[in-house]
Amino acid sequence: MSQATTRMPPSPAGHAGCRFLVEVVIPVHNEEHVLAASVRRLHGYLTATFPYRFRITIADNASTDRTWRVARALCAELPHVTAVRLDRKGRGRALRHVWSRSDADVVAYMDVDLSTDLDAFLPLVAPLISGHSDLAIGSRLTRGAAVARGVKREVISRCYNLLLRTALAARFSDAQCGFKAVRTEIAWALLPEVEDEAWFFDTELLLLAERNGLRIHEVPVDWVDDPDSRVEVWRTALDDLRGMARVARRMLTGGFAAPVPGRARSGPPPGMARQLPRFALVGGVSTVVQLVLFLLLRTVMGPLAANAVSLVVATVGNTAANRRFTFGVRGRQGMARHHLEGFAVFLLGLGLSSGGLALVHALVPDASRALEAAALIAANSTATVLRFVAMRAWVFHPRRLRGPARSGTSTPVDAASIDAQEQTP
């Protein structure tokens, strides 16, 4: 599956006394036009300024042009450069292959276009070598970063990271910047639990690290967009959304954990064993209410209008019931915000159910009431999983519920509910 051309030479002059080794991986696919210049630039920079031993590994994942030939030439030309060839595509697959076999103290990667200013590399790896942090990421979305890129990519990136924070409670600011590092022993613990082999690999790794209580260090970077980037933005975005849904399911079932010594979790997240049956009961009742309203309203209006009206009524009741019974929030303090955010979650359900009804009528123009009801049940089942994640991680997140108490106001909140969730990221 793979082939390595060279191994690590002796330590470079000036670094012989340093015991720390950092391996920088450059994953490439059909990059013959830029590979040589980028590797020479990185090698020259590290040789001149980097205080630790280093290795640069070119990970060619199934290139069909002259990339592998260029990579082998660079190995022969430059000390401390190695190359590995894989027969299948996937940035995550390439990183997994190299990182899981590395003998370095810290493993890192950067995009071949070197869009990130290399001056940020030492601040990236230093906290890992010192033991202060477990992973480190370059961030284009934090204070101090300087970014030059097109409006479309900027909007997509910000929306994606906002979705990660609201739906999956991520605390890191930039999941997609191709400039990351991790202590090798931590990588070994996390990699077996990371399923993605492509672009979502980074995000899944970071979410898993947070889930296991690991410390992620963020470095603001100077970053210039590569105008020749061939990343398929929309296809990658859809793959990322599918990855988020998969991770959400693993979180809900308690299966999103890794054997990190002293910090691994087992079983469902705190509070979920109590919340899930209550949420399911409330959801079942609200689904029945919506179906009854839908069938009644269907006699006087079209399917999409009947679905929207019945879903609004059911959502108001659903949010109120989950607020009180599932998440233990009492009193009027914060009620308006909870219902407003519950309405945002409602839009997700509306989109899924309306899309399901539209699809049914596109395929079966004279669809029966029973078929329409079946489509609603299927769509609502999908929306229910996402609704629970959004309510737990956003609307009724324990840190947000305790916020008013810090500012001197009082919100009647069920203490057991808060204590049960306090460990949840």
Give the CB-side neighbour count of residue 173, counting CA atoms within 13 A: 13
179-183 and 135-139 strand pairing: antiparallel
Give Cα separations from 205 to 134, 146, 158, 257, 260 (angstroms). Answer: 12, 25, 19, 11, 13
Among residues 72, 85, 61, 63, the alpha carbon closest in space to that of 6 is found at 72
Give Cα separations from 223 to 147, 195, 220, 227, 326 (angstroms). Answer: 5, 28, 9, 12, 44
Tally Cβ neighbours within 10 Å of residue 171. Answer: 11
Residues making up the chain, counted from first to last: 425
Q: Is 226 a residue of the active site?
A: no
Give residue for tokens 């898993």: 208
Contact residues for 123 (Cβ-Cβ < 8 A; gap 6+): 219
Tally Cβ neighbours within 10 Å of residue 400. Answer: 15
Catalytic residue among 117, 202, 228, 414: 202
Contact residues for 167 (Cβ-Cβ < 8 A; gap 6+): 244, 248, 386, 389, 390, 393, 394
Give residue for tokens 């033991």: 131
**C-alpha 228: how far from chain center:** 25
Q: Which residues are catalytic?
A: 202
